[in-house]
Each structure stands twice: as structure tokens, then as C-alpha cells.
Amino acid sequence: MTQVTDHGGGVRSLAVPIPDNPLGTTLVHVVDTDRGPVLIDTGWDDPASWDVLTAGLAACGIPVAEVHGVVITHHHPDHHGLSGKVRDASGAWIAMHALDTEIVRRTREHKAERWFAYMADKLEACGAPEEHVALLRAARTARRSSGLPQFAPALPDREIVPGELLDLAGRRLRAIWTPGHTPGHVCLHLEEAHPAGLPGHGRLFSGDHLLPRITPHIGLYEDPDDATVADPLGDYLDSLERVGRLDPAEVLPAHQHSFTDAPGRVRELLTHHEERLTGLLTLLATPLTAWQLAERMEWNRPWEQIPFASRNIAVSEAEAHVRRLVKLGRAEAVAGSGPVTYVAV
């Protein structure tokens, strides 16, 4: 049985499981339009998840063949995983922001090889110990010789343009660009009065940008082809303020549960990140590499218990925070250090 929630006003959500993941489920939203139902995100590409998605649609009286379109908040596999299968079954279009479509294109074209090489170099430059980098190089070799089919997420056929209404018959759904969690993350603002008359402006499908009980991962965008020094945490904090100002009556996120008082949740998250940055400045009283900083930061478990792959994510998050501090003029790279160390100023 699929957990189906009717949010009123032609919007329902289906809880689609993510295998072996503490998040549990992705909330796939179904928005009725005059041309047929449109999905916001699709869920993880797994046979069991597909069964739950199609059973949930059936419970709403929707054969999957009737899905008209798919709007993706961002490219992560718990959101975009099943998009290709939905399109195959229905002929639906898939829409995504151009910057995340670029990542999908990259993932399809290569270049796992290139990515592994890039990450290994980057980790070395961050001060990762040799045994950690060696594990990554070994994973790269194992992958090359495994003969497994390459991971190939569906290439979208429509572009989500920030600030514009999506082409949905009979609905007003506007794209709000909210980079940070990914470069092309979007929230979708349903600019219609709340069906239960809650105060505020419409409803916001927030993807992973604004969640009721957790903060999304903010790491580097890790694009081997992009030499510009991105500031994902700065992007995220700006995006948070932007959705707070929309003041939606209700937020429908892609995980956990719907909630009200978006501006209040935005304030909590801004405070959380400010406190975290201040805590990092204390650690940076002595010069540290991004790796050393990650080892000393607070995570959901002690560093020694964080598995290999998650350490890469943690270091990426540490570096995103350092970049923000450098950009704010509160920390700087120590001249001549290699691997580069950072210190509070």
C-alpha cells in the first residue's frame, strides 16, 4: 500500500521508498492540470519504488500512461531516478533547470573515470590522507573492470526557466531558482489560494531546499569542467531568504512532511548556519586543511565511524563552509601552504 496524502485543491503526495536510506521516502507530488496529471519529482530508480509509485497513482485513479509531465526539483537520484521510466510509460515530458540538466548530461557522457580522477586530485589538495585517496583510486579501478552498465539518468526535454510560469493548463506554478543544494535546484510556487484558506501566499513545493526537520547537504558542486570558485553555501543562504520572502501558506517538501510558517523555518536555518560558521572560526584559530576541519566539525556521528564515501561528502561540506568564510573576509588561505590551510582573520 502506498501512503497517499490528499493536500486539497488537486494536489496529492505519494511516499515513495528510497532503498537503504535513513530518509525513508521521497514525497512525489501529483498536481492535476487540464491536460492531465503532472508529477513533481519521481523517486528512486528501483523496482520496489516503481511499484509503490504506480500503485499510488492507481489509488488516485491515474494509470501511469496518463501522466502528462514531470517537473524535477533537482537532479539527485531520489528525485529524478524514475523520471525515465515514467516518460517511457506515458510519453510525458521532463522539465529541469538548465544547470542540473548539464550535470545529467555530464553523468551520461562520461566520464565516471574523469570524475574519479578529479575527486582524487581534489581530495589530495584538501589534505586527505594518502590511504583515503588510495581507496578512491581503487574504487575507480574496480568500477572500470566491473563491466556494470553505466548509470544513465534521463535527459530532460524541457527547461525550467527561473521566474517563469510552467506551461501547465489551468494552473499557476512558478519556478523559483534556489541554488545551493545543487546549482540548478528549483522550488515551485503554486500561486493559488490555499484550499483550506490558510493565511499566506499559495503553496511551495520545496524539494530538498526547505525541509521541516533536517538541513540539506551543502557541498561543492564538483564540476571538473568549471574552474570558477563557486560559493554554494552563499547561494543557499540567499535562496533561503528568497523563499522566506514568498511567505507561502504551506510548504510541501520532498521529504518528511508538509508544514506552515516558512519564514520561521528559514530563520531557524539561517541561525543554524550562522552558528555553524562561528563554530568553524573557533576551530580555525589554528590553520587547518579542509580535511582537518572536516575531522573536527560536528557530524551526526564521530568521525571515526563515518564511512569512506560519506567522508568525501563531509570534506566537500567543510570546504563549502570555508569558502563562505573566505568570501565574508572572516578567514583566509595561508600563503604558501600546500595542501592549502585556512585560518581565521
Return residues touching Zn ion (CB under 5 A).
76, 78, 208
- Long-range contacts: 221-226, Cβ < 8 Å, 24+? 221/182, 221/183, 222/115, 222/118, 222/119, 222/122, 222/316, 223/103, 223/106, 224/111, 224/114, 224/115, 224/118, 225/106
What's the closest the beta carbon of residue 66 comes to Zn ion, in angstroms?
A: 26
What's the closest the beta carbon of residue 169 comes to Zn ion, in angstroms?
A: 28
Q: Which residue, 3 or 33, is less far from Zn ion as judged by CB?
A: 3
CA distance 74 to 92: 18
Q: Which residue, 24 or 129, is less far from Zn ion as judged by CB?
A: 24
Q: Which residue, 41 or 231, is less far from Zn ion as judged by CB?
A: 41
CA distance 53 to 59: 10
Q: How far is CA 159 from CA 73, 93, 181, in A?
A: 12, 10, 19
What's the closest the beta carbon of residue 192 comes to Zn ion, in angstroms?
A: 25
Q: Which residues pair with 25 in a beta bridge?
A: 17
What is the DSSP-derived secondary structure letter of residue 247? -
What's the closest the beta carbon of residue 255 comes to Zn ion, in angstroms?
A: 6
Q: Which residue, 2 or 182, is less far from Zn ion as judged by CB?
A: 182
Nearest residue to 101 via CA among 189, 38, 185: 185
In the three-class reduction of DSSP (H, G, I as helix; E, B as strand; rest coil), residue 11 is classed as strand
Burial of 308 (0-12, 13-18, 19+ CB in 10 A): exposed
Q: Which residue, 76 or 194, is less far from Zn ion as judged by CB?
A: 76
What's the closest the beta carbon of residue 208 comes to Zn ion, in angstroms?
A: 4
Q: Which residue, 78 or 235, is less far from Zn ion as judged by CB?
A: 78
What's the closest the beta carbon of residue 343 comes to Zn ion, in angstroms?
A: 32
> Is the distance from CB of 334 to CB of 343 less than 8 angstroms?
yes
CA distance 185 to 96: 9
* CB-based closest residue to Zn ion: 76
Residue with cell 517537473: 71
Q: Which residue, 21 or 337, is less far from Zn ion as judged by CB?
A: 21
In the three-class reduction of DSSP (H, G, I as helix; E, B as strand; rest coil), residue 39 is classed as strand
What's the closest the beta carbon of residue 205 comes to Zn ion, in angstroms?
A: 13
